[in-house]
Amino acid sequence: MLLDKFLYGLKQSPLKFQLHLDKILRSIGYQPTINDPCVYIKHQQQDFSILSVHVDDILQVTTNDALVTDLHQQFVKEFQSITYHEQATSYLGINIQREGNSKQIFLSQNKLVNQIIKEYSNDSVLDQRRITMPAGMDLFQYQSSKPNSITKTKYLSLLMSLMFLARMTRPDILLTVSYLATKVNTSSMEDWNRALRVVHYLKTTTRFI
């Protein structure tokens, strides 16, 4: 007997679902973009609809409400039950805030920022003064220092959390975090303290982003 369903949580489930979703989207006129196969676009005369797909999470941007309704109906027909939000306020942990008057959109990851601050701010050797820059002038200066007493796992864990944040919504820390990430195998206590400085910088700038 062959199974016609796949179990959620198995390693191959996302791939199987993506292949199935790709087939559905193509059948209703969507095509994956050349640069990113998880971004689909559909043109309808002067209007268009763009989909960002992450397994079973889909964000739609469109110029015509009829394209929203059409996609919604197709998904209900295929999957029977779906969760739908007319105005997306978050996507993959990223908060979406719209300013109607200025027509601006602000993206943030406040939950992740607060988690990082809570976990690492007590480890910092810095005092509670305001940190208005993610790095000091000595970031690229070589300094002889005793080896990092912090485990490689803890150092890497902090850097990868900061890297995800930097790539998604905080490009202001990307240069510092990218440089510190190159020091994983040879990090010193100074590198660790520089990473903690980024944490304090996030704490200082949270309400301004």
Q: What are 184-206's pLDDT values in tens digits?
A: 888 888 889 899 999 999 988 87
Please report whether residue 175 resides in a domain.
yes
Q: 1 vs 122, which has greater pLDDT?
A: 122
**In-domain check, residue 18:** yes
Question: Cα–Cα distance between 158 and 162 in angstroms, integer?
Answer: 6
Q: Which domain holds residue 173?
A: 109-208
Q: Is position 153 within any domain?
A: yes
Domain count of the chain?
2
Read off φ and ψ for residue 145, nearest 5 degrees.
-150, 160
CA 78 to chain centre: 28
Which region among 73-77, 138-142, 172-176, 198-202 has the lowest average model confidence (pLDDT)? 138-142
| Pair 78, 115 in one domain | no
Question: Is residue 102 a part of any domain in this protein?
Answer: no
Question: Which tops the pLDDT comparison, 22 or 83?
Answer: 22
Q: Based on the domain organization, do 74 and 122 belong to the same domain? A: no
Q: Is the pLDDT of residue 5 over 60?
A: no
Q: Of 9-13, 33-37, 55-59, give the lowest mean pLDDT range.
A: 9-13
Which helix (H) or strand (E) is 40 found in, with range? strand 39-44
Across 141-159, average pLDDT: 78
Q: Identify whether residues 114 and 160 lie together within a single domain.
A: yes
Q: Do 113 and 173 have their domain in common?
A: yes
Residue 199: inside a domain, yes or no?
yes
Q: How far apart are CA 30 and CA 27, in angstroms?
A: 7
4 occurs within a structural domain: no
Mark which of 71, 86, 101 sits at the end of a domain. 86
d(CA 15, CA 88): 25
In a shared domain, residues 76 and 116: no
Instruction: Count the neighbouring beta carbons within 10 Å of the beta carbon of residue 30.
Output: 21
Let me know if residue 104 belongs to a domain: no
> Are residue 18 and residue 76 in the same domain, yes or no?
yes
| pLDDT given for residue 6 in this prediction | 57
Higher pLDDT, 109 or 1: 109
Is 154 inside a domain boundary? yes
The CA distance from 46 to 27, in Å, is 20
Note the pLDDT of residue 121.
76
pLDDT of residue 27 exceeding 60: yes
Are 79 and 156 members of one domain?
no
60, 51 Cβ separation under 8 angstroms:
yes
- Per-residue pLDDT, 1: 43
